[in-house]
Amino acid sequence: MTTQTHDTRSPLVWVTLPIVYVVWGSTYLGIHFVVETMPPMVSAAMRFLTAAIVLATVLVILRGPSVLRVPWRRLGTAALVGVLLLAGGNGMVGVAEQHISTGLAALLVASVPLWLVIFRWGTGDRPAAATVAGVLVGFIGLALLTLTRGGGSGDATGVVVILLGSLSWSIGSFLSSRLPMPENPFAASVYEMAAGGLALLVAGFGRGETLHLDAVSRTSWLGLAYLIVFGSLVAFTSYVWLLGNAPISLVGTYAYVNPAVAVLLGVAFAGEHATWTILAGGLIIIAGVGLVVSTERRSRTVAPPEPGPATGGEQVVEPAGQDRSR
């Protein structure tokens, strides 16, 4: 177990955190516009493969080719995590958004922190009673949205697909903190995006997806460019930086801010309707996730060190086996 101190007074924390809040929340709208005229899995493959190439090029220019050299075992685990997160997780969002609204998709994905608590419990890490209560509250909201399909804002196929995608993302997130990953988090991101992109390409062609360039709208191209630059490079890089420079409890708040951003943008720009079921179920899920995050924050916070010029902010004790390089 390691102890790491983060200074939340750093101005860069409060620049990068809103980027993760807003940009990641807006990617649901970006995906909505992309899949209007592009196949979901092939377009997601284009997104992640392009982002991987760009990020790898930048790393080689700044740090030299050696930055991408990692042991085979760590390369394999990065690839596995990339397939689970980006192919099984993010790729399923694109498929689901052909059947459900962006707001409903984002709210169902917000259940990821709840699944992570379940996985922890299954490995013998007993969470606090308040954390369990948060999980139960969150799953009540999840059940409400699932059984009613967001008050008619989606069909059963989309709901099932997004739930499977959320489960895949949760498994990938859980394994990434317990398996040996590349030491450089940006190099890990390159291999995760490359593996996820290749898996999406195979899956997309396997399900008969074809890309007809003459049928792709300008809006879809712009949406794809936005996802590559802002969703996969700017926001993800900001997230990786935050993991190493801010308390994990603070970083984790994105999980219940993103859905609110997605719902608002869907209503404003995609003509979607925020039904009472979506609002009620969403608020219940966000309340449950908020209870989990706030409880975890209290349980991982220890007494601060003596004041000094090199310390400040909150001290967080990470659970055993968690890889901070991720």
d(CA 88, CA 79): 12
pLDDT of residue 7: 56
pLDDT band at 112 (very low <50, low <70, confident <90, very high): confident
Is residue 29 scored above 80 in pLDDT?
yes
Say how far residue 93 (Cα) sits from the centre of its chain.
Answer: 11
pLDDT of residue 6: 54
pLDDT of residue 122: 84
d(CA 216, CA 250): 39
Note the pLDDT tens digit of each residue in 177-233: 788 989 898 999 999 999 999 999 999 999 999 999 999 999 999 999 999 999 999
Which of 134, 89, 96 minimizes the C-alpha distance to 286? Answer: 134
- Mean pLDDT over 102-107 rounds to 87
Helix count and strand count (H, E) for the chain? 14, 2
Residue 60 burial (C-beta neighbours within 10 Å; 0-12, 13-18, 19+): middle
Return mean pLDDT, the chain. 83
Least confidently predicted of 91-105, 159-173, 204-218, 286-300: 286-300
Q: pTM value?
A: 0.81
Dihedral angle over CA of 5, 6, 8, 14, nearest 10: -170
Which of 135, 138, 118, 134 minimizes the C-alpha distance to 126? Answer: 118
- Mean pLDDT over 33-59 rounds to 96
Map residue 127 onto helix, strand or coil: coil
Residue ranges covered by each domain of the chain: 3-317
Is residue 8 scored above 60 in pLDDT?
no
Is residue 3 scored above 90 in pLDDT?
no
d(CA 69, CA 172): 22
d(CA 248, CA 113): 13
Residue 38 in contact with residue 216, Cβ under 8 Å?
A: yes
Report the length, in residues, of the chain.
326
pLDDT of residue 124: 81
Q: Which of 187-201, 241-255, 294-308 has the highest mean pLDDT?
A: 187-201
